[in-house]
Structure 1
Amino acid sequence: MSRAGKATKHRRRKRRTPVGAAPGTLVADPGASPTKLSLTLIAPDKFRTIANAGIADIVDNRGEWPVIWVDCVGLADVTLIGEIGRTFGLHPLSVEDVVNADQRPKVDFFDDHAFVALRMVDDAAMHRYEQISVFFGEKFVITFQEREGDPFDPVRRRIASEGPNRLRARQADYLAYALIDAVVDSYFAPMEVIGDEIERVEESMLGGPQKGQMQELHALRREMLVLKGVLWPLRDALAALIRNDDPFVTRETKVFLNDTLDHAMRLIELVESQRDTLSGLIEMHLSLSQARTNDVISLLTIVSTIFIPLTFLVGVWGMNFDPDVSPWNMPELRAYYGYPAALLFMIAVAIALFGYFKWRKWL
């Protein structure tokens, strides 16, 4: 079964902040994953990773390292998430957006930090995405994920590589760029898979429309609409990061963010191109199905037309005539070869009609 055919919809109702609650109120989703912290401490000549970290580890190491990366996986513990926000002075409305993990990709700027909300590929096979929230300011980067699993392993390997490297030598905004760039680049693999699915369906359609193809095409088209809804605001968020004049986004980092913006634009072009291809394939499938239906109807019409005069003749000969009453009732009823003569006559009529249809190029 194809990737599109195995796609299922996961529409889980998320818990939202109660109506009338104070801004910044944190309400955990009942289905949220357990919260787990990991801490990566970065310096130009060294690094250190603390798994299963706590607030005390953050407080103890924050002022001792040039850059600190806090990775929070799972959003069930809103008390811990709120404590992280207070420790780093994060804006309460942005922390609330972290917990309400259905935000449109965006970027918000505050006095000493920026907040970026993105959608990243969580499970390409199931067409599932999750929100990744990134805070960064002077000397810190904080990421919040809904579940385990992310595209950040290449970034972690670069941090752990021997000797000095750009990730350890630069400021926190460059680490934030590297993480955002990894999220954007993670879309290329699913796009290639979807492209292969489109080509497979297109090749199978050339042999004639088959049952299930339309369902696959509509599933792929829905996926393109989801990607469009993710990538267009992502492009706007990246453009806002580049246009921003706050000092915690340096000019050097903006050069790299421009490259990430180019990747986002390329993804958008791929989405638009594949969506147009899918629309064309849907129209092609409808046309092929209609043409196939017309061929069947034409064949049935021709067969019916051939049998109409034969049915008429059989009906006439099958009437209850009595030649003893009058010789004009029905001739040849008592002829010795009357039955085969009638069959030959009907066959001649059928052949004549078939030849006429061929001559008119209806067959």
Structure 2
Amino acid sequence: MAKAETASLHVARSARRVPAGASPGTLIADPAAHRSELRLTLMSPDKVETIANASIDDLTVHCEKWPLIWLDCVGLANIALIEEIGRIFDLHPLALEDVVNTGQRPKVDFFEDHAFVVISMIDDVATNRYEQVSVFFGKKFVITFQEREGDPFDPVRKRIASTAPSRLRSRGADYLAYALIDAVVDSYFPAVDASSDIIDRVEDDMMRGPQKQQMQQLHQLRRRTGVLKGALWPLRDALATLIRSDAAYVKAETKIFLNDTLDHALRLIEQVETQRDMTTGLIEMHLSLSQARTNEVISLLTIVSAIFIPLTFLVGVWGMNFDPASSPWNMPELHSRYGYPAALVFMAAIAFGLISFFKWKKWL
């Protein structure tokens, strides 16, 4: 697993907080925040217009003329711009505070004329880089705030820009908000499937023989599934809250589609739970296989030692410095013509006998 991915897992768990004692709704930019840019999409059932690098003036000029708008703010460095957007659309200041203080738990808040949704999304599937996306929607508008460039919204943009009739342009802001949330949820599937492939590959490699690097891979996978679980469980609760809502700007027909997105989230949670159980089981299996391999090595070394113990004893006895000339009892074998080959044959017979005995006992 790449170092960039490991770093992204730590970033996903970090959260900035307003200094203690600050007034509620205080917006403080992160020094590392990306420069803010606006993309304004103006929609009606039969046409669409997109303004890249839009300004506040574009909002004031065009918003009242179109039945549905989508304002996408990428980068959270410009606090004055975010505050002005909040003023124009009458967004709650506490919600705007959660927008700039990234690392919030996925949730849904309902206000008088708009809803506020916070979710975590994967903006780079290759490295599993997470970021917070905040979604406001009311009767005629959808506003998204992203930390940086990169999102899973391109399929939604293509459907909006299509010349064919599109439900995204005709069903209202709540349906557009659903489509964006659904795109975020679906973006988790490639990451979850990639984790499954890695787990299967590691399992196959382990069956051929456990290696040291596999344990590191498994711990990284378990951490990765933990991050996914931390993002998906509260997302499930947020979707359920949206479905149960009685707000007038969340229509009943949109709740049917949101329920389908909830099903996707539940499926992802089940997969992640299964992966976490599998990684835990593989870690335990790796330890067991490593221990079994160590036991096999120790058993082999023990058997080898048992074979050489009597041979070492004989060599030690015959290696003592006694003079056979001083007494017939002092190493008489040294004067034997075939003493050396006889000793080797005798020791070989002992070794062969021990090996045969170990095989008979099924220790080898």
| TM-score range relative to shorter protein | over 0.9
Aligned residue number for residue 154 of structure 1? 155
- Residue 18 of structure 1 deviates from its aligned partner by 1.6
* Contact persistence 2:102–2:132 (CA under 8 A): yes
Pairing 1:23-102 to 2, within 5 Å after superposition: 23-102=24-103
| Identity %, equivalent residues | 69
Question: Residue type matched to 1:73 in 2?
Answer: V
* Contact persistence 1:34–1:76 (CA under 8 A): yes
Give the match's secondary structure for 1:52.
strand
* Contact persistence 2:36–2:78 (CA under 8 A): yes
Give me the whole-angstrom Cα distance separating, in 2, the residues matched to 1:335 and 1:92: 106
Pairing 1:334-345 to 2, within 5 Å after superposition: 334-345=335-346
Within the candidate set 4, 7, 26, 2:5 is matched to 7
Give me the whole-angstrom Cα distance separating, in 2, the residues matched to 1:248 and 1:276: 41
Question: Residue type matched to 1:251 in 2?
Answer: A
Pairing 1:100-115 to 2, within 5 Å after superposition: 100-115=101-116
* Contact persistence 2:45–2:169 (CA under 8 A): yes
**Relative to 1, partners in 2 of residues 1:206 and 1:273: Cα closer, same or farther, differing over 3 Å?**
same
Q: 1:95-145: CA deviations, max 9, x gaps?
A: 010001100100101111110000000223323200000000110100000
* Contact persistence 1:173–1:249 (CA under 8 A): yes
Aligned residue number for residue 262 of structure 2? 261
Pairing 1:98-247 to 2, within 5 Å after superposition: 98-247=99-248
Give me the whole-angstrom Cα distance separating, in 1, the residues matched to 2:340 and 2:193: 70
Which moves more between the two structures, 105-114 or 285-294? 285-294
Give unmatched runs, 5+ long, in structure 1.
none
Which moves more between the two structures, 195-204 or 30-39? 195-204
* Contact persistence 2:124–2:151 (CA under 8 A): no
* Contact persistence 1:7–1:219 (CA under 8 A): no
- Residue 4 of structure 1 deviates from its aligned partner by 5.9
**Relative to 1, partners in 2 of residues 1:210 and 1:58: Cα closer, same or farther, differing over 3 Å?**
same
Give me the whole-angstrom Cα distance separating, in 2, the residues matched to 1:15 and 1:253: 33
Give the match's secondary structure for 2:302.
helix
Give me the whole-angstrom Cα distance separating, in 2, the residues matched to 1:255 and 1:358: 70
- Residue 87 of structure 1 deviates from its aligned partner by 1.0
- Residue 63 of structure 1 deviates from its aligned partner by 1.3
Give the match's secondary structure for 2:42.
strand
Give me the whole-angstrom Cα distance separating, in 2, the residues matched to 1:284 and 1:14: 35
Give me the whole-angstrom Cα distance separating, in 2, the residues matched to 1:56 and 1:134: 22
Q: 1:195-226: CA deviations, max 9, x gaps?
A: 11111111111211123111111111111000
Give the match's secondary structure for 1:50.
strand
Give me the whole-angstrom Cα distance separating, in 2, the residues matched to 1:106 and 1:161: 31
Asked if residue 279 in structure 1 is aligned to residue 280 in structure 2, the reply is yes
Question: Residue type matched to 1:41 in 2?
Answer: L
- Residue 338 of structure 1 deviates from its aligned partner by 1.2
Paired residues in the alignment total 361
**Relative to 1, partners in 2 of residues 1:7 and 1:47: Cα closer, same or farther, differing over 3 Å?**
closer
Aligned residue number for residue 354 of structure 2? 353
Give me the whole-angstrom Cα distance separating, in 2, the residues matched to 1:98 and 1:359: 74
Question: Residue type matched to 1:339 in 2?
Answer: Y
Give me the whole-angstrom Cα distance separating, in 2, the residues matched to 1:139 and 1:293: 68
TM-score (norm 1): 0.96
* Contact persistence 2:160–2:169 (CA under 8 A): yes
Question: Residue type matched to 1:105 in 2?
Answer: P
Question: Residue type matched to 1:304 in 2?
Answer: S
* Contact persistence 2:6–2:220 (CA under 8 A): no
Of Structure 1 and Structure 2, the greater helix share is in: 2
Give me the whole-angstrom Cα distance separating, in 2, the residues matched to 1:30 and 1:236: 32
Give the match's secondary structure for 1:198.
helix
Asked if residue 332 in structure 1 is aligned to residue 329 in structure 2, the reply is no
TM-score (norm 2): 0.96
